[in-house]
Chain A
Amino acid sequence: MLMCKGLAEIASDYIDDELNSRQNLSVKMHLMMCKHCRTFIGNLRASTDLLKAHSSGRDNEEMIRRIDERVAEALKTWTPEGNNTE
């Protein structure tokens, strides 16, 4: 029988729907009986969503500026065939 620890080990696979149907059923059965694991799965899912929302929103402005400079420099030798050196 699936225990809490075993469920925690495969929790991400459950969230991402990567389990086979037998495993999926045993997780669902366990979750029906276990409040702690329901909370755990909910929170792990929330953490995952948090990361999606966090995304790459905080771009490194300095890095972008340095890349822009390098690209602008390289574009000076641009040709339609793309046969600029480098």
Chain B
Amino acid sequence: MDTSVQPDTESSLIEDLKKGNATAYKHAVREYSPGMLAVARFYQDQSGAEEIVQDCWVTVIGAIHKFEGRSGLKTWLHRIVANRCKNKLRATNREVSTDFSETLDPELASRFKSNGRWSLPPKLIFHESADTLMENEALSDCLDKHLSTLPETQRSALMLYEAHQHKSEDVCNILDVSASNLRVLLHRARQKIFLMVETFQETGEC
């Protein structure tokens, strides 16, 4: 499902937000909050993240008249969230730590022989299209469950890049990670999803 807003729709939405239109805010909150939450979750637990997103919307009401459209509205909102999170981290002196040294998921890495060839190759081909697969309620639940167990950093990178379709440089800016570390985060997270779908297709269990 593509939830991105068309440019002309976006500019009329921005005009309405600048006028303080309550309906426009309702629409924008629904449209943009999930992505904003994904950013905040990189730095905060669920309830802390939601509080940040709420605070940011209040900030937006006071600051939208300064928005000049040099970036898209989504990117602007995500930067507001990221900056607020970073300030809060600085205030509490808490660091976000991530391990970028291993490219392969340990479970996947164990499926290769010492000569670098597969010992346990992928067995099944994922035939069905993504949309057909997502109609499978059990698989969709399973995906939710696995996404929620991913390390914060991986999940945020994954959600921003894949689900919210941000460009790499925007994700790097928002999350304050280097381009090469972003590649590691994305790859690690995708391997997890790959392993999950494989188990699900083989056993029907999550």
Chain B interface bracket (under 10, 10 to 19, 20 to 34, 35 or more): 35 or more
Given contacts A12-B190, A59-B34, is CB(A43)–CB(B58) below 8 Å? no
Prevailing SS type, chain B contact patch: helix
* Mask: chain B, 163-206; 1 = CB below 8 Å from A; 0 = not: 11100000000000000000100110011011011100000000
B62 at the interface (CB under 8 A from A): yes
Asked if residues B25 and A75 are in contact (CB atoms below 8 Å), the reply is yes
B50 at the interface (CB under 8 A from A): yes
CA distance A14 to B122 in the complex (A): 18
Asked if residues B190 and A67 are in contact (CB atoms below 8 Å), the reply is no
- Residue of A3, A10, A72 near B116 (CB, 8 A) is A3
Residues 38-77 of A contacting B (Cβ, < 8 Å): 39-40, 42-44, 46-60, 63-64, 66-68, 70-72, 74-75
Contacts of A55 in B (CB 8 A): 1, 3, 163-164
* Mask: chain B, 56-88; 1 = CB below 8 Å from A; 0 = not: 011101111110000000000000000000000
Contacts of A53 in B (CB 8 A): 1, 130-131, 133-134
Which A residue sits closest to B132, measured CB to CB?
A: A53
CA distance A15 to B143 in the complex (A): 21
| Size of interface on A: residues with Cβ below 8 Å to B | 52
Asked if residues A4 and B140 are in contact (CB atoms below 8 Å), the reply is no
- Residue of B25, B134, B164, B183 near A56 (CB, 8 A) is B164
CA distance A16 to B168 in the complex (A): 11
* Mask: chain A, 4-45; 1 = CB below 8 Å from B; 0 = not: 111011111100101000000000000000001101101110
Asked if residues A86 and B34 are in contact (CB atoms below 8 Å), the reply is no
- Residue of A36, A39, A63, A84 near B62 (CB, 8 A) is A84
Residues 81-129 of B contacting A (Cβ, < 8 Å): 103-104, 108-109, 112, 115-118, 121-122, 124-126, 129
Which A residue sits closest to B198, measured CB to CB?
A: A43
Interface residues of B (CB under 8 A from A): 1, 3, 18-20, 22, 25-26, 29-30, 33-35, 37-38, 50, 53-54, 57-59, 61-66, 103-104, 108-109, 112, 115-118, 121-122, 124-126, 129-131, 133-134, 140, 143-144, 158-159, 162-165, 183, 186-187, 190-191, 193-194, 196-198
13 A-B residue pairs with Cβ-Cβ distance under 8 Å, sorted by A, are: A3-B116, A4-B118, A40-B121, A44-B190, A46-B197, A48-B162, A52-B162, A60-B37, A63-B37, A67-B29, A67-B33, A68-B26, A83-B62
Interface residues of A (CB under 8 A from B): 3-6, 8-13, 16, 18, 36-37, 39-40, 42-44, 46-60, 63-64, 66-68, 70-72, 74-75, 78, 80-86
A-B CB proximity, top 4 nearest: A3-B116, A36-B121, A56-B34, A46-B126
